[in-house]
Chains A and B, each alone.
Chain A
Amino acid sequence: AAGVIQSPRHLIKEKRETATLKCYPIPRHDTVYWYQQGPGQDPQFLISFYEKMQSDKGSIPDRFSAQQFSDYHSELNMSSLELGDSALYFCASSLSGQPYEQYFGPGTRLTVT
Chain B
Amino acid sequence: QKEVEQNSGPLSVPEGAIASLNCTYSDRGSQSFFWYRQYSGKSPELIMSIYSNGDKEDGRFTAQLNKASQYVSLLIRDSQPSDSATYLCAVNTEGYALNFGKGTSLLVTP
Instruction: List residues of A whose CB falls within 8 A of some B CB.
Output: 31, 33, 41-45, 48, 50, 55-56, 58, 90, 99-107
Q: A33-B98, A56-B95, A104-B36 are in contact. List 20 more A-B contacts (CB 8 A).
A: A31-B96, A33-B96, A33-B97, A41-B102, A42-B88, A42-B100, A42-B101, A42-B103, A43-B44, A43-B88, A43-B100, A45-B98, A48-B96, A90-B43, A99-B49, A99-B92, A103-B46, A104-B45, A104-B46, A107-B42
Q: Which of B31, B98, B101 interacts with A102 by CB under 8 Å?
A: B98
* In the complex, chain A residues whose CB is within 8 Å of the CB of B34: 100-102
Q: How far is the CA of A44 from the CA of B49 in the complex (A)?
A: 19
Q: How far is the CA of A58 from the CA of B92 in the complex (A)?
A: 13
Q: How far is the CA of A90 from the CA of B42 in the complex (A)?
A: 10
B contact patch SS: loop
Cβ-closest 4 pairs across A and B: A45-B97, A56-B96, A42-B100, A56-B95
B44 touches A90 (CB 8 A): yes
* In the complex, chain A residues whose CB is within 8 Å of the CB of B98: 33, 43, 45, 100, 102
Q: How far is the CA of A41 from the CA of B86 in the complex (A)?
A: 11
